[in-house]
């Protein structure tokens, strides 16, 4: 299933998602006084872009997983494409989930992963926009 020839691509996906998770965890648990020097904007203004990007990435990812769930089984897609669009689909390597399971479990999980990535991109854009 995971082709060795795609090793660098798998590593890039893994590293990107890992870095996004670490940045989100640090921003989430860091005390607010530590974050003020980084986000020097007016209080509350710095969160608008990251939140919009989180929501946009979340919705886009949810829809992408929904589309993957309704594709005809004979549609051939590479594992790299499928797992890039739906990281939580790795949990279904041996089981083909129903549409309900895909939309209630897999899609929100993948959407949360990509929403997190969108939030990180929004934070980085806010920091370097000045």
Q: Rounded to an integer, what distance in angstroms lies between the CA atom of residue 49 and that of residue 84?
A: 24
Summarised one tens digit per residue, pLDDT across range 38-97 is 666 555 566 777 888 888 889 998 998 888 888 866 677 877 788 888 888 877 776 777
94 is a domain residue = yes
10 is a domain residue = no
pLDDT of residue 1: 45
Neighbouring residues of 91: CB distance < 8 A, sequence distance ≥ 6? 106
26 is a domain residue = no
pLDDT of residue 46: 65
Domains in the chain, number: 1
22 is a domain residue = no
39 is a domain residue = no
27 is a domain residue = no
* CB atoms closer than 10 angstroms to residue 53: 20
6 is a domain residue = no
Listed ranges 7-11, 39-43, 72-76, 124-128; the one with the highest mean pLDDT: 124-128
* 40 or 8, greater pLDDT: 8
Kindly tell me if the per-residue pLDDT of 6 is higher than 80: no
Per cent of the chain over pLDDT 70 is: 82
pLDDT of residue 39: 66
Mean confidence (pLDDT) of the chain = 78
Domain of 116 in residue numbering reads as 45-130
Q: Rounded to an integer, what distance in angstroms lies between the CA atom of residue 76 and that of residue 44?
A: 46
């Amino acid at each position: 299933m995971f082709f060795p020839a795609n090793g660098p691509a798998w590593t890039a996906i893994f590293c990107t998602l890992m870095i996004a998770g670490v940045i989100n965890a640090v921003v989430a648990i860091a005390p607010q006084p530590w974050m003020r020097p980084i986000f020097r904007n007016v209080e509350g203004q710095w969160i608008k872009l990251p939140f919009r990007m989180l929501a946009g990435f979340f919705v886009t990812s949810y829809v992408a997983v929904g589309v993957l769930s309704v594709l005809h089984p004979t549609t051939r897609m590479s594992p790299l494409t499928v797992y890039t669009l739906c990281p939580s689909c790795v949990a279904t390597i041996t089981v083909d989930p129903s549409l309900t399971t895909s939309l209630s479990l897999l899609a929100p999980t993948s959407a949360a992963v990509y929403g997190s990535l969108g939030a990180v991109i929004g934070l980085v854009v806010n920091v370097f926009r000045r």
